[in-house]
Structure 1
Amino acid sequence: MRIRLEGHDLPGQRAGERAHALRLAGVHVGVQRKASAELLVPAWAPSAVWELEVTAREVDGLLDVGGPWVHGRPGARFLYVTWGNLSGDTFAMFRRAKLMFGDVPTATLRAAYEGALLVGSLGLTDEHGDPVCARVRPAWSVA
């Protein structure tokens, strides 16, 4: 199953001290694959787009996703969008956002399972101007 995450409103794009501090600290955002953040994008980029492949199977009439990008136990699977400071080749994670597959409308997830592209659109800045974290609910659709 193919997934495209489309991140907009990155915190380093904004004006002000917080955005400036993110740029100075080399803050990047990526998607967590197993224990490491990959596909890193600077926090000051105009947008972030990640393309992922996950596995999916039907279990007792329900869809279960898996693979190295997917975390959590059956029935509570999710993706992590991970924030950290990048210095050379070292990424020091300091914050994550959790995107729950349970928040994807059933018909949308089913369409992706049957071959459509699952698209999640999400803002990457919270109400305080910081990198978004905790549970995030993207707008899910298929393309």
Structure 2
Amino acid sequence: MAAHRSGEVTLRIIGTDLPGLSCPPGGDFPGYANIHVAVQRKDAPTELLDLQRGDAQRVSWSLPCTASTSEAEGLVLNGPYIQNRLGGRFVYLSWVDVDAEGRPTMLRRGKLLLSAVTPHMLAEAVERGQLRARLTMTDEKGHPVCARLIPPRVQWNAESSG
């Protein structure tokens, strides 16, 4: 296997097909009236990066990351928004309901799984400077996506930064 160089990488997340500001109740979903989405800081559920409206045409975040290689894991990304728990590395996309005073209350989260990125794609992203995830943000019921976010819901690409 070829050696990978360590370095700075931008993780660019682009979400389309958002559920809207409100979703009616149904099944195990209680319904909400002012839905927004953000990226959660590592190990800090109340620290949300760039809260964006659930009725936006598209949402996006650019996350600074550092790529490194270890014998145990191979090439990995680390950064202030990358969680590292049993089962691998991921980014939380946190869905919140924002009250009249602007306070967010979490309603669900999606795990954008970095383990779904092939080693070859990750190595190419390190070389080019950017790893891009494009995903749909609404599930089959019309609710905000949650649980494990993997292909085919997510398309991963390596791109040149800048």
TM-score tier, shorter chain, comes to 0.7 to 0.9
What aligned pairs does 1:1-143 form with structure 2 within 5 A after superposition? 1-12=9-20, 18=24, 22=32, 25-34=33-42, 35=44, 36-60=47-71, 62-73=74-85, 76-87=88-99, 88-137=101-150, 138-143=154-159
Structure in which a larger fraction of residues adopt strand: 2
Aligned AA (2:90): F
Gaps of 5+ in 1: none
* Stretches (4+) displaced over 3 A: none
CA RMSD of aligned residues (A): 2.2
Q: 1:101 and 1:27, CA in 2 relative to 1: closer, same or farther beyond 3 A?
A: same
Q: What TM-score comes out, normalization by structure 2 length?
A: 0.77
Deviation of the 1:136 alpha carbon: 0.7
1:26 counterpart letter in structure 2: N
- Identical-pair percentage: 36
Q: Distance in 1 between matches of 2:88 and 2:98?
A: 30
Q: Which has the larger radius of gyration?
A: 2
What are structure 2's unaligned runs of at least 5 residues?
1-8, 25-30
- Give 1:74 deviation, angstroms: 7.6
Q: Which stretch shifts more, 107-116 or 78-87?
A: 107-116
- TM-score, scaled to structure 1: 0.86
Letter in 2 for 1:2: T
Q: CA deviation at 1:17?
A: 6.2
| Residue pair 2:18, 2:144 contacting (<8 A) in 1 also | yes
Conserved 8 A contact 2:125-2:157: no
Question: What whole-Å deviation, never above 9, does each CA across 1:100-119 have from its counterpart, x for those lacking one?
Answer: 11101211111122233111
Question: Once the two structures are superposed, what CA deviation does each residue of 1:35-73 show, in whole Å capped at 9, x if it has no partner?
Answer: 122111100111101111112211127112222101024
Aligned equivalents of 1:53, 1:17: Cα separation in 2? 32
Number of equivalenced pairs:
138
Q: Secondary structure at the match of 1:41?
A: strand
Higher helix share: 1
Partner amino acid for 1:96?
A: R
